[in-house]
Structure 1
Amino acid sequence: MANPSFNIFENFNKSNQSQPHFQRHEILTKFVHIDGCSLVDYMPISMRCHFVKTEPDCLKFLRFLNYMEFMYCYVQQTGSRIVDWIYLSVLLVYMFYLFQVLGQLMGKFFCPGINYIARTFRMSQSFAGATILGIANGVAGLFLAFADLSADTVGLYTGSNSFALFSQTIVAGIVLLIRPFHVYRPLHVRDTVFLLTLTTYIEYIMNDQLVDLYESFPLFLFYAAFLVTVGIDAVLIRKLSKDIRRKLKLLEEGVGDEELRMQLEELQNEGVMEILVKDSGSVLDIERTRSAFEGRSPNDNLFRQFLESINPIDRASWETSGSCYRFMQAVVSPFVLLFLLLCPRVDYNLPNHGWSKLLNMFTILSGPFFIITVSRMITWKFFGVSIYVYWLIPAIVVIVLVYFFSRTDTPPVYHIGFACFSVIVSLILVRIVALEVLYVIYTVGTASQMSPTLINVTLQAWEGGIGSLIANVILAYRGYPRMSFAACYGGPLFSMPLVFGVRLSYKAITSQNRIAVVHQGPLGITIYCHLFTLLLFSMFGILFARDQGRKSIGVYRILIYPCFLLMALLEEFEVIHGHNTDHTDQRVQMD
């Protein structure tokens, strides 16, 4: 195979030096280091199988099934392009199936659990979205930082900012398209200003490619400041609501002040969230669904309740739906059954709020056991003892306590603990399924010879964005758009300060003179410019629309993302000049 030709640029700084100073080109470095798997299509067919088996970039998303190996070791060995496209079509259908599985996991476990936690702690939609849902959406970004603390910061900067851009464009745009709503101005301006300040500060400290501890340490305080501000706003909104109600009572009956009534209605939307009946939008009486029957003993109907709880198909939806929906329910039912055996359901819409005594006791053991196994932690040992033992002993203690201190006919007072457990387990399961989806996308993109830049930029964003996209869309569709919209800000505001703070501080501590050398990558400033522009113009757009989150604003947000991808491709093929490099046109061709 012939050696590819690369370009090396000369940077002449005539004010400070008389000789040319050669510096590496970021796009060349990124291509060699990250996009190794994209070289497979430039190799002879006989070499491709061995390459995809040994090249680390071809295996970075591998979890269960090796789609890449099957493509290049079996399918392409037939020499027929028709067989290639048939296999890629099958992968696309399989990817759609995995998305359906993710939808079931989010809709039945994660989203109801988030709602239960928010309602129990009397949170508003915006408060819950900015905190618990935002943290859940941003947890995936933490894996990016803690996987390899000594790694280069190019992937960190590109991945984190791509996730923020994906959340603000695709996720927030779809939420506005599904459920337009009135935006409470102070909270929207607060979230936008915080995210603008965070991204601008990170860009500022990394712009000179040198970061010390004095610059990285404030990142740890950023999210704490955001949480304090959110808490203060929640308290002020409740006090203001009480004050407006008091003023309205002082007015004559039937007269009222229209302006005060409008203010009160606006503030009530930011009050304690109401639980809505599934698929109807009306307010649910949560006390009515708290107990499905009256048991004569604490363990009455124990096994019957267990068998009814592990039914993977919703009977009410099955009876009222068409053949297409029934087919999809039957197809995904094996995965739903698996999730029911691993993760407790906590849902106000279900009888007993989803409480099933025997099933919940079983999930205390099965959920963590499954996660430890599939996460390849089965060989982990501490002081010569397997990690299973460290979980087994406290799990058995909890199971015994649940058995003696709970009933089958009503959820216990500590049901909130199972709600938190459900959210954590379902979040990990979402991560496992989402990584499988990413490997399918990576295989299809590589085999169809998509641009390496397009593949990497999208996958870095989708790695943490697929789960948040499905969760936020489901919540918006069920009547919680304010929670979903606030989470689009809360996710990046949670993950970015931590991932950059940990990585930059570690590199500074382990570097000479306590100063870390950092890089943004060839697309770093391009992503930042799109994100900054989007946040600024979207904020003013909603303000000029009289605080109405309209569908047109959602369309604008969504269109920003393909514009960004188009600019990334134009920069890669040197149709336009990238933001990150400023070289002269004097080039030395190197063979």
Structure 2
Amino acid sequence: GVVLVGVANSTPDLLVNLSPVRMEGLTFNIAMANALTIICLSGGAVCFIRPFRMNGHSIFRDLLFLLLIIELVRFFMNDTALAPWIKGAILLSIYPIYLLINIVDLILLRYAIRKLRADIEVLRQSPSSREHDLILTEKIVRLNNLQQDDEIQILESKLYRKRTYNAGFFVTPKPLIHHKEVDVETNRRILHSKANPKNLFLFSEFLQAINPIDSEGWYLSGTCARILQILKAPVTLMLHLVVPLVDYQLVKHGWSKMLNCLQIVLTPFVIFALVETMLVHKYAEWYYVPQFRMAIWSLLVTMPLAIVVFLHSRTDIPPFYHSSYCALTISTVIIFFWICAWEMDALISIIGVVFDLAPSYMSITFNSVSAATADLIAYAHLAKHGYGKMAFGAIIGGSVYSLAVNVGIELVLQKKLNSRGQVVLYGDDGVTIYIFLVITITTTLWWCLTFNFVARRSAGLFMWSLFVLFLVYTTAIELQWVHGFQDKKKKKK
């Protein structure tokens, strides 16, 4: 969660930060506002949806790293002795150190598991006594807890809404049916037979894979849901053609021979075309002019590769390299998110101009909420399917990545300098965001300890309430109903 999910969800915001739409934005303000929004909204949603037990020391480690980065940046803003690029290099080095600590922690965890197993085996062969049995029970319980932190299980994504103990809106629900672990290898080989032709059901499987309307959902849906499926069909068809599917819950893991071979050519072509179009930034009236120079060159590599995969693979079983399609999937999704976030930033800036709202206010409120919406959907989806621990770890880890890398790159590039030759990172709203973010971190540590590291619905409601309070306060400052912290400081001077 900290490494893969957190980095993947935070990368689009990093790319938007480097785009022209944020040339005038203050990076530290935006990064802190994004971290506050994601922790409060997404973290609150994960805690609210279903209970789960956290890894206590991991949560404390991640939150303290986040606090360290915030305080280090504030120290660098007041320090003029170091060059900006040195400060940026120090900040950028924090995230590799953070990853290294996570890796070392995982190694120590697995070492502790092996040691406990050896101790339990020795105790089981020893003469029994009351003290002996207590020690054995304690070690077994500790081993089970450590194994839960170490295991990565692929669970069924079926949602059992009715089989849940529900005592009211404010009561944490207790699930009565738990998700089963998926048998990955059985799903992979379930249709395989050496007697089958290599291209059995090639075209019918392709047409079924690109069908934008789910037949089961269609028959079970009403009129409104069917109309919604029809409206979504063009976008769904495009995504089916471009984004490869690797799902261990499905038969053959979602493998479709013709479609996956086509995606080897089509997906890199689309990625290169979109990136080149956004970087060239050439307009024709109100839309971008598509650029295909780099995309055409990609065909020299992808077309022969697609032919080789088509000749080698079968329709009834995915090849051993099917999981490598995840790289294409992640790249495509990140590019799509980047473009959507870029356009959303531009749209919100226009709305701010129309309603005469300050750009700084729009960037820390509307921009942050729009950027966090996609993350909220992804983390809520993970929480519903039993991956709450992964989702919450990704929320904190992604915030660490976003703050360290965004601010570090801004210091290295030195695009916005003041009269003292220092990079401008902080605005008038920065103190307000900083105070609310520190409150969020400290209160999260507090309720984690209070609830014995078990996420509860009340914790989610508390985090949402904290974010609503932040929005109300920043809006009151923008409308000049109250003074911000920075305004008070200026008046004293």
Give TM-score scaled by structure 1 length.
0.70
Aligned to 2:407: 500
Quick one: which amino acid aligns to residue 268 of structure 2? P
Kept in 2, the 8 Å contact 1:211–1:504? The answer is no
Aligned to 2:285: none
Per the TM alignment, residue 216 of structure 1 is displaced from its structure 2 partner at its CA by: 2.3
Of the three residues 473, 479, 490, the one matched with 1:567 is 473
Change (3 A) 1:450 1:380: closer
Change (3 A) 1:554 1:195: same
For 1:135-214, list aligned pairs within 5 A: 135-147=7-19, 151-152=23-24, 154-207=25-78, 212=83, 213-214=85-86
Aligned to 2:119: 247
Aligned to 1:9: none
1:313 aligns with 2:213: yes
Q: Residues 454-480 of structure 1: CA distance to partner in whole angstroms, max 9, x if unpaired?
A: 533223313532221111111111111
For 1:292-307, list aligned pairs within 5 A: 292-294=190-192, 296-307=196-207
1:133 aligns with 2:5: yes
Aligned to 1:429, what secondary structure does the other structure show?
A: helix
Which moves more between the two structures, 247-256 or 520-529? 247-256
Per the TM alignment, residue 235 of structure 1 is displaced from its structure 2 partner at its CA by: 1.2
Kept in 2, the 8 Å contact 1:169–1:557? The answer is yes
Q: How far, CA to CA, are the matches of 2:399 and 2:197 in structure 1?
A: 48
Q: How far, CA to CA, are the matches of 1:165 and 1:293 in structure 2?
A: 47
Kept in 1, the 8 Å contact 2:16–2:342? The answer is no
Q: How far, CA to CA, are the matches of 1:519 and 1:450 in structure 2?
A: 21
Change (3 A) 1:394 1:357: same
For 1:179-578, list aligned pairs within 5 A: 179-207=50-78, 212=83, 213-252=85-124, 257-280=136-159, 281-294=179-192, 296-320=196-220, 325-374=225-274, 377=277, 386-433=293-340, 454-507=361-414, 515-578=421-484
Per the TM alignment, residue 261 of structure 1 is displaced from its structure 2 partner at its CA by: 3.2
Q: Residues 70-118 of structure 1: CA distance to partner in whole angstroms, max 9, x if unpaired?
A: xxxxxxxxxxxxxxxxxxxxxxxxxxxxxxxxxxxxxxxxxxxxxxxxx
Change (3 A) 1:327 1:183: same
Which moves more between the two structures, 225-234 or 143-152? 143-152
Which moves more between the two structures, 159-168 or 488-497? 488-497
Q: How far, CA to CA, are the matches of 1:468 and 1:416 in structure 2?
A: 23
Per the TM alignment, residue 435 of structure 1 is displaced from its structure 2 partner at its CA by: 5.2
- Structure 2's unaligned 5+ residue stretches are 160-178, 282-290
Q: How far, CA to CA, are the matches of 1:502 and 1:378 in structure 2?
A: 20
Per the TM alignment, residue 141 of structure 1 is displaced from its structure 2 partner at its CA by: 2.3
Q: How far, CA to CA, are the matches of 2:203 and 2:319 in structure 1?
A: 18
Per the TM alignment, residue 583 of structure 1 is displaced from its structure 2 partner at its CA by: 2.4
Q: How far, CA to CA, are the matches of 1:144 and 1:434 in structure 2?
A: 7
Kept in 1, the 8 Å contact 2:12–2:337? The answer is no
Which moves more between the two structures, 200-209 or 474-483? 200-209
Change (3 A) 1:227 1:367: same
Q: Per chain length, whose mean CA-contact separation is higher, i.e. which structure has more relative contact order (CA < 8 Å, sep 6+)? A: 2
Q: Residues 512-536 of structure 1: CA distance to partner in whole angstroms, max 9, x if unpaired?
A: 99x4242411111111111111101
Kept in 1, the 8 Å contact 2:264–2:302? The answer is yes
Tell me how large the CA RMSD over aligned residues is.
3.2
Quick one: which amino acid aligns to residue 545 of structure 1? F
Q: How far, CA to CA, are the matches of 1:572 and 1:150 in structure 2?
A: 20
Change (3 A) 1:327 1:251: farther
Q: How far, CA to CA, are the matches of 2:250 and 2:270 in structure 1?
A: 26
Which moves more between the two structures, 258-267 or 368-377? 368-377
Which moves more between the two structures, 274-283 or 312-321? 312-321
Per the TM alignment, residue 579 of structure 1 is displaced from its structure 2 partner at its CA by: 2.1
Per the TM alignment, residue 163 of structure 1 is displaced from its structure 2 partner at its CA by: 0.9
Q: How far, CA to CA, are the matches of 1:221 and 1:325 in structure 2?
A: 49
Kept in 2, the 8 Å contact 1:211–1:517? The answer is no
Q: Residues 515-573 of structure 1: CA distance to partner in whole angstroms, max 9, x if unpaired?
A: 42424111111111111111012112211221212221111111111111122122223
Q: How far, CA to CA, are the matches of 1:223 and 1:379 in structure 2?
A: 27
Per the TM alignment, residue 576 of structure 1 is displaced from its structure 2 partner at its CA by: 2.7
Q: Residues 355-390 of structure 1: CA distance to partner in whole angstroms, max 9, x if unpaired?
A: 111101111222233344455629969xx9921232
Kept in 2, the 8 Å contact 1:174–1:554? The answer is yes
Q: How far, CA to CA, are the matches of 1:313 and 1:148 in structure 2?
A: 38
Change (3 A) 1:283 1:325: farther
Aligned to 1:89: none
Kept in 2, the 8 Å contact 1:219–1:497? The answer is yes
Q: Residues 339-369 of structure 1: CA distance to partner in whole angstroms, max 9, x if unpaired?
A: 0011111101111101111101111222233
Quick one: which amino acid aligns to residue 189 of structure 2? S
Identical columns (%)? 27
Quick one: which amino acid aligns to residue 271 of structure 1? D
Q: How far, CA to CA, are the matches of 2:355 and 2:424 in structure 1?
A: 33
Quick one: which amino acid aligns to residue 361 of structure 1? C
Aligned to 2:471, what secondary structure does the other structure show?
A: helix
Change (3 A) 1:438 1:147: closer
Which moves more between the two structures, 433-442 or 493-502? 433-442
Per the TM alignment, residue 284 of structure 1 is displaced from its structure 2 partner at its CA by: 1.1
Quick one: which amino acid aligns to residue 242 of structure 1? R
Change (3 A) 1:417 1:511: farther
Kept in 2, the 8 Å contact 1:223–1:497? The answer is yes
Change (3 A) 1:456 1:210: farther
Kept in 2, the 8 Å contact 1:380–1:386? The answer is no
Quick one: which amino acid aligns to residue 46 of structure 2? V
- Structure 1's unaligned 5+ residue stretches are 1-128, 587-591
Per the TM alignment, residue 315 of structure 1 is displaced from its structure 2 partner at its CA by: 3.6
Q: How far, CA to CA, are the matches of 1:286 and 1:429 in structure 2?
A: 29
Kept in 2, the 8 Å contact 1:309–1:359? The answer is yes
Q: How far, CA to CA, are the matches of 2:123 and 2:365 in structure 1?
A: 57
Q: How far, CA to CA, are the matches of 2:315 and 2:399 in structure 1?
A: 41
Per the TM alignment, residue 173 of structure 1 is displaced from its structure 2 partner at its CA by: 0.6
Aligned to 1:99: none
Quick one: which amino acid aligns to residue 275 of structure 1? I
Quick one: which amino acid aligns to residue 234 of structure 1? L
Change (3 A) 1:379 1:166: closer
Kept in 1, the 8 Å contact 2:348–2:367? The answer is no
